[in-house]
Amino acid sequence: MTSPPTPPNRDPGLQPERTRLAWRRTTLSSTVAAVLAVRAALHGGVNAEGIIICALCCALWLGFLAVAHRRITTLAAAGTPPPLTPRHATTAVLCTVAVAVCAAVLVY
């Protein structure tokens, strides 16, 4: 039995891959929230307020997607991945908070 050859700098914990998949899962969660938001906005018939909130939620979802995509690209690149920047983290969080604010407006 010979063990398969391992590249010299291989990280046995697969940390970048796991982090990439965590971003994927989070994107999926935000997609679910965005779909529910669109459904809520257009449920009671199409009106101006609903369309505005719908467009806003779609834009926020796209913003989140952009952040996740940039981070995933960074993590997929070879070499030691740089840590997440606070600006990215804050953008992701602000998108989430803004969706919640849209939801509160819709509920009322």
Partner 1 sequence: MIDFARNVRLWFAPQEISEEGGTPDYRFSLANERTFLAWLRTALALIGGGFAVDQFLPDLRWAWRVGLALALLAAGVLCSLRAVNHWVRCERAMRQGKDLPVSRFPALLSIAVAIVAVAMVIVVLAGWEG
Shortest gap between Cβ of 82 and partner 1 (angstroms)?
8
Q: What spatial distance separates the first Cα and last Cα of the chain, rounded to whole Å?
A: 67
Q: How many helices (H) and strands (E) does the chain have?
A: 3, 0
Judged by CB under 8 A, which of 5, 7, 45, 86 binds partner 1? Answer: 86
Q: What string of DSSP letters covers 72-98? A: HHHHHSSSSPPPPPHHHHHHHHHHHHH
Residue 49 binds to partner 1 (criterion: CB under 8 A): no
Which member of 26, 50, 56, 70 binds partner 1 (CB under 8 A)? 26
d(CA 17, CA 4): 20
Residues binding partner 1 (CB under 8 A): 11, 13, 15-16, 18-19, 22-23, 25-26, 29-30, 32-33, 36-37, 39-40, 43, 80-87, 89-90, 92-93, 96-97, 99-101, 103-104, 106-108
